[in-house]
Structure 1
């Protein structure tokens, strides 16, 4: 079912005012957590931007810079590991008593009763590896498994997306003023521009291809950017009308889904303790097409999980 995140947020339209976050700040209000998420995501984004030309120079990747994870086509780089280490280091400074769940370093599988930070040091690692300008650092704070604050740092675009629950969704270009985000007002699903992504296992990809084959003639077009966090922020920014993808882990959607919801999208996410192998679907859509888009996905069997390949 759709999440309980609001379609619209009853907030003051004024821009959030950033202040310097202080180490050991124990306040659990979403706005404080948002400021920390922004600070941490921007810092890690600067590291990622600096390290790419150092590690992936004109002669290609340095030795041992890239390894494989779930499949040979699912890479992790030394910069992913370095960026997550930096995020964890900063979070220990700002919030030493909080749990952290990261894509590379792991963490608590079940959401704790307190604050849990959910981190993807580079969302869009394949893009990062190839030098395609669509990868991001994603940092979110969850309470009882629900995202209450988050930031997504578009590393190449030097653009920060951020949200606090009940406070709207915002974007800052190159550290400048915050501008409020709002989803599109499209009301015809046949005119919806839809973003999606694919898994790494052959069987899941085959099923995802079948879904795309059924969907493509019935929407405006599809986009495959290669970063779920940025896809969700694109829904928030009105750059696409909807996003869906099977097999996202919490670090893929924890920040971006909140940004989309706070911008007015109708959002469905997997359970907070799910993993990519479960194959649950994540959906975000502008409210004018959300019901029709959900019905279309249901007709195609795409609201059901697409589990990971049973054997690899």
Structure 2
């Protein structure tokens, strides 16, 4: 099946908006925790599962030969060489508490759901709580649609680490959180400040839009960043891991080209 990044982006955008409407409707009706995953505080809602099933079914209608990789385990292998990567609700704890910082994140890549080998083609991140939409396609730039306005995104060009506002996130296990807290004792004195909003996809889009100067986190999964990291890249960000590695579970960093090596030095220590 032939494809172009622009056509794939149009599909991702349509399905993300539809899924966002479903997620918002379920939030207004009240949220039910369906299960926990890695720890007792790593929750899955019924809306997470319903959204994933909805998106997978819609993509099967529109792109039946493509593969699928979702946070809640709805994986399938396609024949086209493309894989759709979904986080049905990125920021589930925010969703549970009705904090309006959560998103549907949909990306499509050439290859499998592995940042070491994939080629990102298109991605959409949609926060239905405030109807804030971010999207991008490879070589096509990154954009935000909000309040009836479309804006092309560019990262900030801050060059002084001490003046840079960074965001991060924390894992769900006590051991990982302890290590992340230790890292903060090095990072926090060196930057303007740290934010922790609770949704990796939206943090990456905030870097793209200039609301943040940078973002770093250990422990992210492909569904957390497949769409947001493409949006950030298309807005001019450098996205990667440490010591030349691709972004992934060991570390994800997104910032401008001037600040990347500066924050990397501190994260390697």
- TM superposition score normalised by structure 1: 0.79
- Alignment match, 1:151: 124
Q: Is this contact kept in 1: 2:90–2:200, CA < 8 A?
A: yes
Aligned to 1:264: 236
- Higher RCO structure (Cα 8 Å, ≥6 apart): 1
Kindly indicate whether the alpha-carbon contact (under 8 Å) linking 2:216 and 2:252 is maintained by their aligned counterparts in 1.
Answer: yes
The corresponding residue for 1:285 is: 255
Within a 5 Å distance, the mapping from 1:211-290 to structure 2 comes to 211-268=183-240, 279-290=249-260
Equivalent in the alignment of 2:168: 196
Q: Distance in 1 between matches of 2:208 and 2:91?
A: 18
3-state SS of 2:258 partner: helix
Provide the rounded CA distance (Å) in 1 between the counterparts of 2:145 and 2:9: 13
Q: Following TM superposition, by how much is the alpha carbon of 1:271 offset from its aligned partner in structure 2, in angstroms? A: 6.0
Q: Whole-Å Cα distance in 2 between the matches of residues 221 and 271 of structure 1? A: 25
- 1:168 aligns to 2:141 (yes or no): yes
Contact 2:240–2:246 at 8 Å: present in 1 too? no
Q: RMSD of the alignment, in Å?
A: 1.8
Which runs of structure 1 show a deviation greater than 4 angstroms over 4 or more consecutive aligned residues? 269-272
Deviation by residue 1:27-47 (Cα, 9 ceiling, x = unmatched): 321111111111111110000
Q: 1:123 — aligned with what?
A: 90
Work out the CA distance in 2 between the residues paired with 1:267 and 1:90: 30
The 1:31–1:78 alpha-carbon spacing in structure 2 relative to 1, beyond 3 Å, is same
- Are the counterparts in 1 of residues 9 and 123 from structure 2 also a CA contact under 8 Å? yes
Aligned length: 260
Q: Is the 8 A contact 1:184 1:238 kept in 2?
A: yes
Compared with structure 1, are the counterparts of its residues 88 and 106 closer, same or farther at alpha carbon in structure 2 (3 Å cutoff)?
A: closer
Relative distance call for 1:91 and 1:108 in structure 2 (3 A) is closer
How far apart, in 2, do the equivalents of 1:242 and 1:297 lie?
13
Match of 1:55 in 2: 30
Instruction: Evaluate the alpha carbon distance shift between residue 186 and residue 225 of structure 1 in structure 2; reply closer, same or farther with a 3 A threshold.
Output: same
1:27 correspondence with 2:2: yes
The unaligned stretches of length 5 or more in structure 2 are 112-117
Structure 1 residue 177, shift from structure 2 partner: 4.4
CA contact (8 A) 1:100 1:116 kept: yes
Write out per-residue CA displacement over residues 30-75 of structure 1, whole angstroms, 9 at most, x where no aligned residue. 111111111111110000001112133xxxx4xxx43211100100
Separation in structure 2 between the aligned mates of residue 271 and residue 213 of structure 1, nearest angstrom: 25
Residues 244-285 of structure 1: CA distance to partner in whole angstroms, max 9, x if unpaired?
Answer: 11111100000000000000000015769x6xxxx4111101
**Distance in 2 (alpha carbons) for counterparts of 1:31 and 1:93:** 18
Instruction: Please report how far the alpha carbon of residue 88 of structure 1 lies from its aligned counterpart in structure 2 after TM superposition.
Output: 0.6
CA contact under 8 A between 1:112 and 1:143: conserved in structure 2? no
Matched residue of 2:202: which SS? Answer: helix
